[in-house]
Structure 1
Amino acid sequence: MKPSSEIRRENLNLLIEQHGSIANLNTSLGRKRTDATLSQLRKGLTHSGSNKVRVMGDTLARDIEKRLSLGLGWMDTDHTGVIIPDIEGVKPEGVWVPELENYGSMGDEVSLYEQDVIVGGVTLAPEFVRRLNASHPSNLRVINGHGDSMLPTIHPGDKILVDEGVKDLYDGIYVLQSYDSVFIKRVSKNLKGKLLISSDNPNVKLSEELDGTEELKVIGRVVYVWHGFFV
């Protein structure tokens, strides 16, 4: 998992790109155009006294979010592959992926909506989508994870990118439906060649061998988790 300092630096770079320059971003934040703070943070310069690398603190992160109306926690959220509109609202061309209201359970019981409810979406950079090796860009969906059974790979509340075009099980992490519940679990093969469903959290004792009699539907394969994981 990426440290928050790295995520904040990446998001700072996104904002600089969005505004066209550090000077323009400083202006939007109510700072002097020549203020060197953001430049020092971007470059990861060290403090002259302690020789420690400069990182963005909570106070500055929350101030940036407030002044730019980004929403609380935006600076701490991984936006890898997501195209951010420029300050005039213009987006470069990309792949739009819907975000669904349905959740994937990682320990908590979460019921399935009868129909997918689209609550938003993200526009992904084409080169990022190519790295996913998805079945087709139109099969990509964003959902949210709940529970802690897939820690440390997936954290509660993480946004998860799912390829719904993958219906066959092989080694990887999948969104699975059993009756009216949806789960996110790891699938692997044991020494007998049988498929196993398990959790990544070592504190969760789950390892179930599939024998083909289960009422199990494959929703799709997890291909990215937004805190720095291709899976």
Structure 2
Amino acid sequence: MKTVHDIRRSNARKLRDGVGGNSSFATMIDREPTQTSRFMGDGATKNIGDSMARHIEKCFDLPVGWLDQEHQTTNITKKPDVSITNKQITLVPVISWVQAGAWKEVGYSEVDLSTAETYPCPVPCGEMTYILRVIGDSMIDEYRPGDMI
């Protein structure tokens, strides 16, 4: 007869497999992969205690006690909040208004972009994209001083 620790380990492994492996499982329960390996790896050295079982259930939006019961199949998995994407993130430099006025189609050679403050651009952009920091109240209805455009 299986113990509650065996059942918990089996159910935790099903959840782990449902989210793509140990690293994803560890991320979802806010633990290190080495810690999760200790209680559900092939050579597990620790049992899943009551508090960890409740924590796992909470992280997967499962009812209290779910991990303690045998389940034939597990269709209950929480998908990670993020997914892998092929989008390329471009870092865009923050330049001064003077530098922007001198910007040309071929770039501004006096601006050392390798040392410039940069931010990731949330949309596809070209190599000549840059950021300006709003100064003063000239466009207060739309932009506030310090906003980046």
Classify the TM-score, shorter chain.
0.3 to 0.5
TM-score, normalised on structure 1? 0.31
Larger Rg: 2
